[in-house]
Chains A and B, each alone.
Chain A
Amino acid sequence: MEISVNGKVQQIPGDEILLLELITKNGVKQPDMVSVQLNGSFIRKEDFRSTVVKDKNEVDFLYFMGGGKYLFF
């Protein structure tokens, strides 16, 4: 299937993938440190494990960004 991650198409084998798996697959080491939007709605962190991403879905990762001195992901 094809999904859009941060505006770019990604090919994912199978028909669906768990959001948490997709987050890990995209190199996010600490899922707590990212805010995720699926098809225009923010997903609560506690729902990362149970949310399913399907073909043609759009996912955006938004990271905490401060001033280069502090960091969190």
Chain B
Amino acid sequence: MDFTEQQIHRYSRHIILQNVGVEGQQKIMNGKVLIVGAGGLGSPTAYYLAAAGVGTLGIIDGDVVDTSNLQRQVIHFTSDVGKPKVVSAKEKLLQLNPDVNVITYHQLLTSENIIQIIKEYDFIVDGTDNFPVKFLINDACVLLGKPFSHGGILRFEGQTMTYTPGNACYRCVFAGPPPANAVPTCSQAGVLGSIAGILGTIQATEALKFLMGVGELLTNRMLIFQALNMEFRTVKFKHNSSCPICGNNPTIKQLVDYEQATCDIQQSE
């Protein structure tokens, strides 16, 4: 594929960047990335991936925009309240970069549909806010051999890691969701809006690095930051031989839909 003059101009800061160049930009433009959740993490991720010119961006989210989302989900505007998040997101992304093929799925990701959806993509970004889907994404990606970026935020903190086949997966670190009888404490919930921006842009960077094949991905380590004292640290780990899905004797051979309790002021997000 040849670049148009307009594309050379649009992506000039990538093209002049060592490690990217025309080849790297071409790889970005051939890339297909699925973003799960058009929320706090998905908003910045989607913006930067669309701006970078990722060829196909899939966005899956079953929710509609609520006023309480606007504090951190920057792809949605006040006038979007009530609109499906994927529709709102697609509108902004196409205005940002009409070259991007945005595919939307206004539905929840479940054990029934996940394989069909993710198999079309090169890289998956987990921007969900709940553990059942986080484990579902991990398990499906491990079973299909798809790379993905895990992201989690809470209060003033964030964590992210990247999985690629052969390296540690999310279950290598967290064997399974917290037990159902664990009582959540609402006073510990909430998140500072800008934390989502910090983490989502890191996830977007991992997706771009993966597409271009440059640098070292955040594999076999978890990046953790605490914004109150603005400390970042990386915890290294190895592939866990007793991991229930990718270890030596895996016990999980099919996808599971877990239940999850929520801690919410209003009915649902």
Q: Which residues of A contact B (CB under 8 A)?
A: 6-7, 30, 32-33, 35, 37, 40-42, 44-45, 60, 62-73
Instruction: Give the segment of B11-19, B113-121, B141-149, B187-195 that binds chain A.
Output: B187-195
**With A42-B173, A71-B185, A71-B189 as given contacts, are A33 and B157 in contact (CB-CB < 8 Å)?**
no
Q: Is B252 an interface residue (CB 8 A)?
A: no
How many of chain B's residues touch chain A, expressed as a range?
35 or more
A64 contacts B178, C-beta separation under 8 Å: yes
Report A-chain residues with C-beta under 8 Å of the C-beta of B152. 64-67
Against A, the Cβ 8 Å flags (1 = close, 0 = not) of B232-269 are 01011110101000000000000000001111100001
Bound Cα distance A29, B185 (Å): 11
B131 contacts A64, C-beta separation under 8 Å: yes
B89 → chain A closest CB, angstroms: 16
A68 contacts B129, C-beta separation under 8 Å: yes
- 24 residue pairs bridging A and B, Cβ less than 8 Å apart: A7-B233, A35-B175, A60-B235, A63-B159, A64-B131, A64-B174, A65-B154, A65-B158, A65-B159, A66-B130, A66-B131, A66-B152, A67-B129, A67-B130, A67-B153, A68-B154, A68-B189, A69-B264, A70-B184, A70-B261, A70-B263, A71-B185, A71-B186, A71-B188
B190 contacts A70, C-beta separation under 8 Å: no
Report A-chain residues with C-beta under 8 Å of the C-beta of B175. 35, 44-45
User: Which of A30, A33, A69 is in CB contact (< 8 Å) with B129?
Assistant: A69
B188 → chain A closest CB, angstroms: 5
Bound Cα distance A72, B134 (Å): 14
**With A40-B238, A42-B172 as given contacts, are A68 and B178 in contact (CB-CB < 8 Å)?**
no
B134 → chain A closest CB, angstroms: 7
Report A-chain residues with C-beta under 8 Å of the C-beta of B9. none
A44 contacts B153, C-beta separation under 8 Å: no
B238 contacts A66, C-beta separation under 8 Å: no
Bound Cα distance A35, B224 (Å): 14
A67 contacts B191, C-beta separation under 8 Å: yes
B154 → chain A closest CB, angstroms: 5
Bound Cα distance A67, B238 (Å): 25
Report A-chain residues with C-beta under 8 Å of the C-beta of B224. 62
A67 → chain B closest CB, angstroms: 2
A6 → chain B closest CB, angstroms: 7
User: Which of B39, B129, B222, B233 is in CB contact (< 8 Å) with A70?
Assistant: B129
Report B-chain residues with C-beta under 8 Å of the C-beta of A70. 129-131, 184, 189, 260-263
Report B-chain residues with C-beta under 8 Å of the C-beta of A63. 154, 159
